[in-house]
């Protein structure tokens, strides 16, 4: 578990940096000539927003949860949960798609965003 808040946030930032690098590597495997794509993140109060950028547009890849909470519908969210985007400013809060602290690998369609629910 996290010893103090600063260490936990540093770990999350390092893992999200790795996620952004993994997204870029996976993109370049499929599209080696499209080198102007990159990923970064913005830090908010509750979430980190992972953003895909190129010279023409920006889009939200997904969100990383920063605080534990339970929704009114009873869905529990932990620190590090990977959330699909419902819009530019809002994650989908129906269910986490994985947890970055427990290992979240980029493969297949995950390079376009967190997994859909089936």
Q: Which residues contact 22 (CB under 8 A, 6 or more apart)?
A: 105, 106
For position 1, what pLDDT does the model report? 35
How far, in Å, CA of 35 to CA of 88, rounded?
Answer: 24
Mean pLDDT of 70-93: 94
82: exposed, middle or buried (C-beta count within 10 Å: 0-12, 13-18, 19+)?
buried
| Whether the predicted pLDDT of 76 surpasses 50 | yes
pLDDT tens digits, one per residue of 1-27? 334 456 678 999 999 999 999 999 999
Confidence of residue 115 (pLDDT cuts 50, 70, 90): confident
Average pLDDT for 60-76: 94
Give me the long-range contacts of 40-47 (CB less than 8 A, separation at least 24).
41/16, 47/83, 47/91
């Amino acid at each position: 578990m996290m010893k103090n808040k600063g260490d936990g946030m540093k770990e999350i930032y390092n893992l999200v940096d790795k996620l952004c690098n993994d997204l870029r590597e996976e993109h370049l495997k499929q599209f080696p000539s499209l080198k102007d794509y990159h990923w970064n993140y913005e830090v908010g109060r509750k979430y980190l927003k992972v953003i895909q950028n190129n010279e023409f547009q920006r889009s939200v890849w997904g969100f990383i949860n920063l605080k534990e909470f339970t929704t009114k519908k009873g869905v529990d969210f932990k620190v590090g949960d990977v959330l699909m985007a419902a819009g530019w400013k809002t994650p989908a809060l129906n269910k986490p798609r994985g947890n970055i602290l427990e290992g979240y690998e980029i493969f297949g369609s995950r390079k376009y965003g967190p997994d859909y629910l089936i």
